[in-house]
Amino acid sequence: MAAPRSSLAHIQEKYGPYIAGAFFVLKQGGAVKFQDHEWIRSDKRGHFFLEFLKLQTVPVQAVDASGCAINYDGLDNLLPLKELQSLSLQRCPNVDDWCLSRLYLLAGSLQELSLSGCPHISERGLACLHHL
């Protein structure tokens, strides 16, 4: 699910791509880990502390978007995270072959990718991962 472009564009403009990407994941109910920091997670009601806003120069190292409604358009918020090492998209109902075809943009940093339980991924999508 893509968050409204205007609010995320404003966040990216004001705080940069790390904060915008983290905000997107947290709003989806996922978790993020900034380099040399603990995991930040939203609670059961989808709330999270905004203290991470001061980490705008710290790269996002890991994203756990397991079970989130991220789709092809929503990946736009993660692709600027050029230092991302670990990405979990387990059980994401909207992740499909088209999504996987975009992950090559993270080839410079991504070391771990988890896709188990994604119902719309086929062998064709997995073949795209050779770019990683």
Domain count for the chain: 1
Q: What is the CATH number of the domain that holds 110?
A: 3.80.10.10
For residue 89, the SS3 value is: coil
Inform me whether the pLDDT recorded for 54 exceeds 70.
Answer: yes
| Integer angstrom CA distances of residue 64 from 10, 38, 70, 127, 132 | 23, 13, 11, 23, 19
| Residue 127: inside a domain | yes
| Residue 50: inside a domain | no
Range of the domain at 108: 5-45+59-131
| Residue 16: inside a domain | yes
Higher-pLDDT residue of 67 and 49 is 67
Q: How far apart are CA 117 and CA 47, in angstroms?
A: 26
Higher-pLDDT residue of 38 and 42 is 38
| Residue 54: inside a domain | no
Q: Among 77, 128, 63, which residue's Cα sits nearest to residue 102? A: 128
Q: How far apart are CA 78 and CA 63, in angstroms?
A: 9
| Residue 53: inside a domain | no
Give, in degrees to the nearest 5, the angle at Cα 14 between 9 and 16.
Answer: 75
| Residue 12: inside a domain | yes
pLDDT tens figures, 72-97: 999 999 999 999 999 999 999 999 99
What is the model's pTM? 0.90
